[in-house]
């Protein structure tokens, strides 16, 4: 009887133990299914749970994982970690690549439309007089386009505009004084007096201000838009540290090894892992936000006083106004020129005075309906409103990435979650964002003394762009200040050697000549138009330059 009871008890224990083992073996079946659904070989998974002391990342004790599986799951966690960040980043990249295209296209289209509109209007208004001189205006638009594409290093706007008006004056001056003959030195004298004579009234001054602001703003803004996808791409592809991959593996796949395939990590656990993994990225946020704020401020300028559309659209009317002014002032202008540059010789070929027929039609107001419109009827305001939304939305992108990742399906709701060792509440404090806050991150080891170089570089790039945007906000182009260094000709700064001093003096001495006369570009384009007058001035400059070192 005694033995029978003992046997029964014994049998009971055996059955219970067998049931427990049976239960755990079943769990490994779930692991097998989950593991193979990830694309791994089902035969890697043991049929029954084994003791996990051999594992590197996951807890000891019962486990369905082998070392080999742990390594494969580590690779998997690396890509699992990357996926949501890449997804969010590429959305941001696409958004701004598109917005850049919209703006760029829009600005280029406005330029083309302005040129076409001017051409049509001037053909109607000035007829053959315009057609004969059309290349002057073609060049004007060509230079504006070149400035928009390549910036101040390629085209100096002030000089370009001064040259344009001087050239226009020269041509108009000849047209309104056909009864006289003018030599090249005489015309040099005329163009030197352009500023003084103000033959075009206030138009050149106003237009210079408006064009400069609008072009600097448009160009810098599109540069800023193009920078976004570039920075996002570089920053988001920074690879995860080994410690981060390890922490992600533990968070994402150790529940597998313990047989709890459906168990999701606790939200705060996820946050700590992600903040550790994205510590460097989060440090981008300050400059990123500064940059976005500068973009937003410039966007407001684009809507207001620096509106490219409202400067470019009526440019034909403005230039026509200038021509009208010159026509009206032609008598006084000519008299002043004759006083300053001498009485010109009359033409020998006796011809009827064509003075009155030089400019046949008076300017007629354009009809607004005849203006070409941009594709899809876009206008500046609509584009700016849309891009402002996107810019605001992109703020804090980097520092909020962990929160954006640790949501929904990726984490468990409530306390029934994987806390790294058990299905239990997560007790640790949540770390702040950024490198400095990771000193005591419980999951990811972060060397806070070694900021990531790629991200450092992008912080510097954002800083520089922000300063360009701020300058553009005040109407200044500083994008080429750095590039110019060492090129010598225009900058002159940054050269310490005495041999540079002479060039420097030659180009920067405030000679009473307009800059175009000494700029190398002008001399080459206008051939041998170095007149006796400017030769004297050039010599004076050279003398000054040579004397300068001795007088110091």
Ligand X SMILES: *[C@@H]1O[C@H](CO)[C@@H](O)[C@H](O)[C@H]1NC(C)=O
> Rounded to the nearest 10 degrees, what angle do helices 2-37 and 242-257 cross at?
130
Among positions 20, 422, 436, 460, the unique one binding ligand X when judged by CB under 6 A? 422
Rounded to an integer, what distance in angstroms lies between the CA atom of residue 274 and that of residue 268? 10
Rule CB under 6 A: say whether 385 interacts with ligand X.
no
Three-class secondary structure of residue 247 per DSSP: helix
Sign of torsion, CA 56 57 61 62?
Answer: negative
Q: How far is the CB of 421 from ligand X (least distance, A)?
A: 5
How many residues bind ligand X, per CB under 6 A?
8
| Rounded CA separation 291/279 (Å) | 20
- Least separation in angstroms between residue 435's CB and ligand X is 22
- Give 427 or 485: the residue with its C-beta nearer to ligand X: 427
The SS3 of residue 63 is: strand
**Residue 426 binds to ligand X (criterion: CB under 6 A):** yes
Neighbours of 242 (CB within 10 A): 11
Q: Stretches 80-88, 101-109, 251-259, 413-421: which one binds ligand X (CB under 6 A)?
A: 413-421
Q: With binding defined as CB under 6 A, does residue 430 bind ligand X?
A: no
Candidate residues 300, 381, 427, 445; the one interacting with ligand X per rule CB under 6 A: 427
By the rule CB under 6 A, 424 interacts with ligand X: yes
Which range, of 86-94, 246-254, 338-346, 420-428, touches ligand X by CB under 6 A?
420-428
- Using the 8-state DSSP alphabet, how is residue 77 labeled? H
Closest distance between ligand X and the C-beta of residue 269, in Å? 7
Two structure tokens written together for 205 = 């001054």
418 binds ligand X (CB under 6 A): no
Residues pairing with 324 in the sheet: none
- 453/280 Cα distance (integer angstroms): 10
When asked if residue 419 is in the footprint of ligand X (CB under 6 A), the reply is yes
Whichever of 164 and 426 has its CB closer to ligand X, that residue is 426
> Minimal distance in Å, beta carbon 420 to ligand X?
5
Q: Any contact of residue 122 with ligand X (CB under 6 A)?
A: no
482 belongs to the binding site for ligand X (CB under 6 A): no
- Dihedral sign computed on CA atoms, order 313, 316, 319, 325: negative
Regarding 421 and contact with ligand X (CB under 6 A), the answer is yes
Tell which residue, 510, 521, 493, 498, has the closest CA to residue 544.
510
Task: Map residue 280 onto helix, strand or coil.
Answer: helix
Q: Does residue 61 bind ligand X (CB under 6 A)? A: no
**Phi (first) and psi of residue 63, to 5 degrees:** -150, 145
Residue appearing with tokens 């290349």? 135
The answer to whether 489 contacts ligand X (rule: CB under 6 A) is no
Q: How many other β-carbons are positioned within 10 Å of the β-carbon of residue 37?
A: 10
Selected binder of ligand X within 36, 286, 310, 428 (CB under 6 A) = 428
Does 49 contact ligand X by CB under 6 A? no
Which C-beta is closer to ligand X: that of 15 or that of 422? 422
CB 16, min distance to ligand X, A: 25
Q: Which residues of the chain form contacts with ligand X (CB under 6 A)?
A: 419-422, 424, 426-428
């Amino acid at each position: 009887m005694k033995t029978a009871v003992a046997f029964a008890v014994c049998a009971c224990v055996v059955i219970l133990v067998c049931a427990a083992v049976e239960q755990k073996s079943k769990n490994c079946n779930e692991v097998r299914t989950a593991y193979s659904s990830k694309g791994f070989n089902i035969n890697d998974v043991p049929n029954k749970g084994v003791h996990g002391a051999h594992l590197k990342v996951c807890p000891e004790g019962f486990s369905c994982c082998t070392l080999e599986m742990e390594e494969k799951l580590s690779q998997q966690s690396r890509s699992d970690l990357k996926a949501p960040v890449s997804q969010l980043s590429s959305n941001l990249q696409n958004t701004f690549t598109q917005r850049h295209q919209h703006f760029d296209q829009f600005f280029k289209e406005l330029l083309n439309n302005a040129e076409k509109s001017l051409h049509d209007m001037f053909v109607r208004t000035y007829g053959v007089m315009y057609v004969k001189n059309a290349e002057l205006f073609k060049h004007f638009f060509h230079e504006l386009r070149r400035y928009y594409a390549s910036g101040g290093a390629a085209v100096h706007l002030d000089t370009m505009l001064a040259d344009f008006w001087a050239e226009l004056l020269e041509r108009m001056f000849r047209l309104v004084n056909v009864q006289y003959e003018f030599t090249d030195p005489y015309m040099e004298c005329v163009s030197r007096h352009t500023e003084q004579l103000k033959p075009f009234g206030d138009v050149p001054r106003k237009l210079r201000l408006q064009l400069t602001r609008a072009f600097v703003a448009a160009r810098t803004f599109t540069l800023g838009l193009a920078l976004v996808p570039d920075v996002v791409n570089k920053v988001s592809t920074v690879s995860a540290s080994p410690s981060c991959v390890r922490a992600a593996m533990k968070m994402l796949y150790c529940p597998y090894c313990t047989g709890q395939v459906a168990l999701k990590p606790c939200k705060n656990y996820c946050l700590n892992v992600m903040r550790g993994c994205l510590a460097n990225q989060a440090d981008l946020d300050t400059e990123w936000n500064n940059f976005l704020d500068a973009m937003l401020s410039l966007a407001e300028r684009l809507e207001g006083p620096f509106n490219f559309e409202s400067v470019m659209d009526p440019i034909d009317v403005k230039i026509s106004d200038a021509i009208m002014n010159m026509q009206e002032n032609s008598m006084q202008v000519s008299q002043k020129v004759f006083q300053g540059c001498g009485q010109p010789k009359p033409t020998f070929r006796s011809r009827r005075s064509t003075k009155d027929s030089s400019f046949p039609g008076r300017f007629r107001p354009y009809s607004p309906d005849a203006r070409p419109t941009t594709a899809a009827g876009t206008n500046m305001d609509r584009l700016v409103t849309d891009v402002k939304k996107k810019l605001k939305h992109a703020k804090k992108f980097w520092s909020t990435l962990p929160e954006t990742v640790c949501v929904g399906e990726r984490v468990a709701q409530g306390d029934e979650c994987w806390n790294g060792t058990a299905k239990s509440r997560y007790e640790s404090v949540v770390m702040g964002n950024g490198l400095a806050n990771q000193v005591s991150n419980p999951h990811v080891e972060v060397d806070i003394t070694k900021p990531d170089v790629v991200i450092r570089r992008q912080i510097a790039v954002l800083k520089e762009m922000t300063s360009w945007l701020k300058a553009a906000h005040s109407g200044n182009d500083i994008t080429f200040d750095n590039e110019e260094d060492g090129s010598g000709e225009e900058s002159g700064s940054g050269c310490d050697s005495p041999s540079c001093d002479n060039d420097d003096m030659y180009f920067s001495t405030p000679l009473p000549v307009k800059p175009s006369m000494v700029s190398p570009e002008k001399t080459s384009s206008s051939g041998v138009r170095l007149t006796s007058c400017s030769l004297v001035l050039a010599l004076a400059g050279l003398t000054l330059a040579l004397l300068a070192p001795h007088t110091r």
